[in-house]
Structures are given as structure tokens and as C-alpha cells.
Structure 1
Amino acid sequence: MGTHVTIIGAGLGGLTLARVLHVHGIPVTVHEAEASPVARPQGGMLDIHEDSGLRALRAAGLTDGFRGLVLEGREATRVLAPDGTVLFDEDGSRGRPEVLRGELRALLLDSLPAGTVRWGRKAGGVRPLGGGRHEVAFSDGTTTVTDLLVGADGAWSRVRPLLSDAVPEYTGRSFVETWLTGSGTRHPASAKAVGGGSMFALAPGRGIQAHRESGGTLHTYVALSGTREWFDAVDFTDPPAAAARIAREFEGWAPELTALITEGTAPVLRVLHALPAGHRWDRVPGVTLIGDAAHLSAPNGEGANLAMLDGAELGEAVAAHPGDTEAALAAYEEAMFPRSAAAAADGEELHELLFGDTTPHGLISMFTGGAGDA
């Protein structure tokens, strides 16, 4: 029943949308550039928020399956000084369930009928055909025409230019990602420093953040402020040299912290970009965006949750306006624009707490209730 929906991108937002549409009996196809569900690692831990991610999972009818993925105790949070001194330590009573992104994605994929997701379908050109219809051309030479096109295709969305001229810009900060496996036996000091959940060791303009995943794996995000040219000068094709170069930015820090950089897997550069705060567009018939395609911001713990909420609310709007795609899209965007703008502003405040001149004391104050909820 209803309009057939075409989604570009099989991330958490696109899959949540597809699942909610399926629940309501609305036909949907998802086109994904990756060759398969396991084509690449799917990132680390996510804390799922009650008013966004969990709300989306309820709309998708997947709450029970989600509960089975929760890793107990991973909400624990600690803040360390560069010398390893523990400044703040909480055992995990804040109540935000933590799951692995890849397992959550698999839950969503398994909830969809076979063939819903078309793998190896990298979108190239997208063009309007008039009357709200659009044609998407894929890199394999095929095309599809749709009455409702949703860009769930992330930072460098191929769908976004139909709606907006905005382009993501470098934030002035990048992450370097590493994993330390078998930490309990091979790296006990680092494992103790990280604790049972997430760990922040911070100084103005830089930080070492790590999270305990499953099987004794410590997933680290090293944050550094710097120009693109500075990061381009680091040779990530030589992993030991790259790790040593990044670790030099933390000279004098506790060895159990710098070991998260130098003893882990090959470091991976994650250049952080953001769309303009408050990014929005005028209504264009037959097309909209969700998740990072709509409101990319620096990582702040909200991105996955917002993408899932976008997907759920768009799916519900389409179901609530049968035969009236424009009413559905207008209702969705009316709620999404202010929500994403507020989240981007909150994210900027969080990054100032993490990496600004007052770190880590402002962050600790936030955790202890002195500056709102974490």
C-alpha cells in the first residue's frame, strides 16, 4: 500500500526508516554502496537515548531484540588526568544502554524482508524528472525512478544537492581511531585505566578517549585540534610511524594512556566535518534527507540516535499521510529542523567542555550535575 519509498544508504537511519515503513505495510527499497553487510567495520559503542534511539526502536517494534544486545556496565564513565590520576569515576548508573553499532545494524537488517537492501549500489547522479519524481543512477550502470527519495547517505550525500548547496566543512579537529585487543591479559595497565565503560583523558585541544567493547577490546578515539595540512603530513600508510607521531602530541602523559595509541591496531584518521548549524532547506517535492545527510555535526553522542529518530518519524509521517507525500515530508521536516539545530548547538557546547580551556573540569561538572545532564 502507498507510495514506494527509495532510500539511499543502509546506515542506522535508513534502516530504521525502512523497518518502520515495513511495519506499516509501505513498500521500500534501500540502495547501499557497500558490497555486503560485513564489507567494513561498523564502528564502536553507542549509548542509546530514551527520547531518540529508544523511541525509534519502539516505533520499529524492536525493543526486545535490542535489549538482548545491551552490554551491561558499559555506561560506566571515568575522567583521568594526563598523568593517569582518576578525577571522576561513576559505575554506570546513568541508565543509557550501550550496544555495538554493528550488532544494532544487524538487528535492523534482520528485521527487513529479504531483498529490501540492494548491496553494491553506489549512487552517482540524481536528477529530478518533474512532479516529485526522481531518477537515481548507480555506478553499476543501472537506474531507478521513485516518487519518494530519501537521502540517508551520510556526510557526502549524493541526494543533498537536490535540496541544498551546503557542503560539510572541516571542524578544525580530527580523531585518530585505534583498537587494543586482549587488553585484560596483554595490556592490564591500559585496561585498568579505561575501566568498565568509557574513559576520557583530556587537555585543551586534545584528548584520549576510549571505550571498553566486548571480548577485552579497548576502542580508542584520539582527538587532536589541527589543520588538515598537519594531519595530511602524518604518513598513515606506515602505521607504527603514524602511531608514534600521534603519541608525540601526548608526551609526558601516563604510559598506560599513550599505549592505547602505540600498542593498538593501525591508526585510522577520521577527519571531522560538519554542516552549517541550523542547516535547512525549502520543501522540494518528492525528496528529503535524514541523519548526517541532513544535519552532520562533530561527534557528540547524538548522531546515531538522531538518525534513527529521523527515520522513525519520517516513516510514521508517511504512514499517517497515505497518498499525500508532500504533507508527510512537510510534517517530518517541521519537527526535524529545530531538533537537529538544538542538537548541533548542544554538541558544540560538549566539544568545548571536552577540548576547551577549562577541560576536564567543565566536563566533570556536567557529569556531576553542575551543567546539565550528560
Structure 2
Amino acid sequence: MSMAGGAMTDGRIEIVENASLVLPDRVQPGWVAVVDGRIAEVGEGRAPERGLDLAGDYLIPGLVELHTDHLESHYAPRPQVRWHPLGAVLAYDAQIAASGITTVFDSLRAGTDPDGSGLGSELHLLADALAGARDAGLFRAEHRTHLRCETPSADVVDTVRAFAERHSIGLISLMDHTPGQRQFRDIEKYYVYAGRGGRSVADIRAGTARKIRDGAALNAVNRPALVALARARGIPLASHDDTTPADVALSRSEGAALAEFPTTREAAEASHAAGITVMMGAPNLIRGGSHSGNVAAQALAEAGWLSILSSDYVPASLLMAAFRLPEQVPGITLPEAVATVTANPAAATGLDDRGRIAPTLRADLVRVRLAQGVPVVRQVWRAGERVV
């Protein structure tokens, strides 16, 4: 496919003009030149030659998503229903790219619950499908792996060790969903969450008793083993649902680089003070609060402790939150808000070749237009090649 003026050849952009460029420190009208999939030049005003005219739409860096467990909802769309692994992976990838996400850490859960929930051995089916699609060049976005490790699980350490022998891991998070602590301090809210699949109240309560009884002992063994594995392989580590200063102190001692979804102001403040990057859910920001009754993302943004947003369970929420953030917290500019879904997550995971519109960086770019205040993805390029 070719377009007049050399704007695009075989799907690859060369010059994008008449755009509202969201740069690291400002928004300016201008243009971007791309050579061999990388940004060659960024200019203000009119481009030196004709290119793809964005008609004043925003041009932002491709979004970088660190924690989305949305793939599992494609593979297991209903209780006891499993979809074709490759079909699930490709449908998920299409949704990710259409949301403006050009780099995604596929968050796969490792560790089986006592009640039988979790992927179990099916984790390898999805990982193999992801690897097969990647090797065949079928993906629109770049896919990396984030293992969400349920520390009070009897099989989590063996599962992660086996996974690491077959697949690369870009991020490990340490999760403990034992009822009565962290995300589920409120047992009643846990009962509501656990009942989503139609389980009986009696079954939920029996399972809860088992988790509380066995959780501490399993966690005490598994968590240090997973930390050691991450250190040995040089894998960035994230804490999950830290609630108290003691939780944060533990995360700091383990070398956690990220604090995923701290549940209280105290934990978020302590993480920020300790130099641990704080990440919150974009749905939390859009909805005006946590669905579990925990601290609101907006409150942490207002305090200056929020650095990264994650789409968590709604991929489209990432872009929405980036444009909503300056409206909800006036002290935050649009470039700063966009950085929470681009430059900051890239930096937190060592991806220094993307996340900003700047010369030499990879041309991961998203064209965005506002429709009734809602950001709409119009076009997406990964390494200069159009994927949406």
C-alpha cells in the first residue's frame, strides 16, 4: 500500500504531519519523521515535506502495559469453558493493539488455589500459544511475560521454575490473596468476589477457612524462593497489594522495583518514600475508586505518589485514564499523565528504547482524537509499521 507524498509505504510511515505532538514536557503542533522503524526527527510547525496528515489529532507514544490479566478472560470466558489457545491469544492481541498498547506484559497467573481456581498446567498452553504467535509474526503488539505468582499456593514455586526453563519472564509480581489481608482485608468483600463464578456460600466459606489456615505457612516458604529465583535470573520484581508499612518494608528488603496497587495511602506513601515505583489501576481512576474498597488512585495522584497506571482488567481504560488524569488532578499536565502509561512503565522495566516521542527511539506511536471528551484510537504504529 502506498500513499501520496511518501507518507506511507507498505504500511510503514515516513512522515507524520499536522499533529498535536505530546512530547515529554509539552504539547506542540508539529511533525515526526521515521526511518527504519525509529524516530529520526521531531519538528515544530509545518513539516519540510508532505506526509500523513493527522488533521490536528494527538500523536502520543505507544502505550506500555505492565499488568493486564485480560488474556485469561479470552481463554476462560465462562466457568468451565476454555477457548482455543491461539484463537484466544490473537483476539486478545487485537484488543490490546486497538487500545493503543504497543508493548504489553501478558500477566499470567502462576499458582493454583486450594479451591482449584487458577490456570494450573494450562499456563503452559497459553505461554506456548503466545510464543507460537510471536514466532510466526502474528502479533500487532509486542508481547512480554509478567508472571503473577500466588505465594500461598502449594505449586507456585515448581510452576515458576518449570516456566522459566521454557520461556523468558519480563516481570514477576508476588501476590497473596489470603482472605483477611491485603486486597481482601474485608472478608465480606472477599465473599462477594469469590462468588462471581456461581459458587455456593458454603463452598466459599470452607475454602476461605482453608486459605487462612494454610496461607501463612506456604507464603513463608514460597515468597523467599521466588525472590531468589527472580534475583538469580535478573527479573524485575513487583510487590502486590501492599497494605501496611511492614508490607512495604518487606518489599523493599526483597528489592521490589514496583508496588502494584497498594491498598492504603500509608503503603503508597511508604513505597514512594522508599523509591519503589507506585502503580495503580486505570479502572480505579475512571470509576472514581477501587472495586474492593481500597484507596482511590486519584488520591495517590493528588499526593504525588502515583507514577504508573495499568489497565488491569479493561484494556481501553489505559488511554482513557491518561486523558482523564489532568482533568481530575489539575496539577498534572497531559504530558505527565501520558508518561504514566508510556515512559514511566517503560523505564520501570528497563525498556529505554520506547515510551517517548524523541529521536532515536522506536516509532511506537498512536493517533488519538477526542470524541465527546473520550480519547479514540485512530491509528497505531509499532516500530513505524501500522498495526491498527
**TM-score for both structures, normalised by structure 1:** 0.24
**TM-score for both structures, normalised by structure 2:** 0.24
